[in-house]
Amino acid sequence: MPSANHYTGPTEVSGHPPVKSQTATVGVLLVNLGTPEAPTAKAVRPYLAQFLADPRVIDYPRWLWWLILHGVILRVRPSRSAHAYARIWTSQGSPLRVGSQSLARHLQAEFDRLGAPVRVELAMRYGEPSVARQVARMQQDGIRQLLVLPLYPQYSATSTGSVIDAVADAMKTLRWPPELRVVNDYHNDRAHIDALANSIRAWWAQNGRGEKLLLSFHGIPERYVRLGDPYHAQCLATAERLREQLGLSADELVVSFQSRVGREQWLQPYTDATVRQLAADGIKRIDVACPGFAVDCLETLEEIAMQNSDFFREAGGQELRYIPALNDSRDQVTSLAALTMRHLQGWLAP
């Protein structure tokens, strides 16, 4: 869902990329998680099937997980997830898709403003437009150097690693694949941290400040971290940089992890338990930001702004206020453009 202070670029961003961008030989492929086509069980089922069948996401033995996935999960979860999607669906469609498309258009406009011959496209790791489709399309249109930018600030094998797998699979199908680079993460990027801090300050200036700032990141199983995934450390590094930028004490900023599934231990503390504990401790008003999400989606708009808001009030708190993701804000556009230009060095003329 585009933020209220969305970036205003050249007027042509509302339609197709300008001719200059279509004739570029350098491409940038933004990749986000994905979304079902509609907030219905019928549409959610194939999306969940693709997502949960990814061995990067669930690494159980394939035969065992296939039985669990098709015998239990895909019989029950689509209806429940469809209800959650229906709560946030807009007249334009999925907030994640609408917001990601807007971000891609505004990033294209920024490159055009800079005079950089770069073509920007958007793909979804699960669902459409697929990574394979977009990589093939860009190659057919003459893109000879391709930078892949997963919209995950922190690296995890479950997210960025899965995007790398999808890109590699797509490249294997091409007779003459383009030269390839991938942005692994930007969790500690200075401009990105500045953008997050500016967003929170602006929100506080307009809405006042709560007693605590909670940073909720998507969780992963603790076992994945023990196997070498850097995600947990990168989340904590982002939180610490953001705390320093905002001038908060360690007591004023809390970190938690959301969206756990199954019985396995995930990264802790859990967000739902944290908001309940804050309420039990007498905290009446908290602000929640989700620095692991570039664009607002089900996990921020429904899980945090709705579900966890209910948990907080039921436990005795008064108000949980969600601070929107960066979405297509000017700070997000300019920070990603700067990040991308650094990674394109050597491919673009000075």
pTM: 0.92
Q: What is the pLDDT of residue 11?
A: 37
Distance CA 172, CA 18 (A): 30
Whether 199 and 310 map to the same domain: the answer is yes
Report whether pLDDT(252) > 90: yes
291 inside domain? yes
- The pLDDT-based confidence of 262 (bands split at 50, 70, 90) is confident
- The pLDDT-based confidence of 1 (bands split at 50, 70, 90) is very low
Q: Count how many domains the chain has.
A: 2
CATH code for position 298: 3.40.50.1400
141 inside domain? no
342 inside domain? no
165 inside domain? no
106 is in an annotated binding site: no
Average pLDDT over residues 158-167: 98
12 is in an annotated binding site: no
168 inside domain? no
Q: What is the pLDDT of residue 350?
A: 72
The answer to whether the beta carbons of residues 185 and 269 sit under 8 Å apart is no
pLDDT tens digit string along 175-233? 999 999 999 999 999 999 999 999 999 999 999 999 999 999 999 999 999 999 999 99
80 inside domain? yes
47 inside domain? yes
Q: What is the pLDDT of residue 2?
A: 45
Average pLDDT over residues 68-88: 97
Return mean pLDDT, the chain: 94
Report whether pLDDT(164) > 90: yes
DSSP single-letter state for residue 18: P
Q: What is the pLDDT of residue 31?
A: 98
DSSP single-letter state for residue 300: I
Q: What is the pLDDT of residue 214?
A: 98
Domain that holds residue 222: 190-322
**Residue owning tokens 């429940």:** 80
Give exposure, 163-196, as e/b (b: 16+ Cβ within 10 Å): bbbbbeebbeeeeebbeeebbebbbebebbbbbb
143 inside domain? no
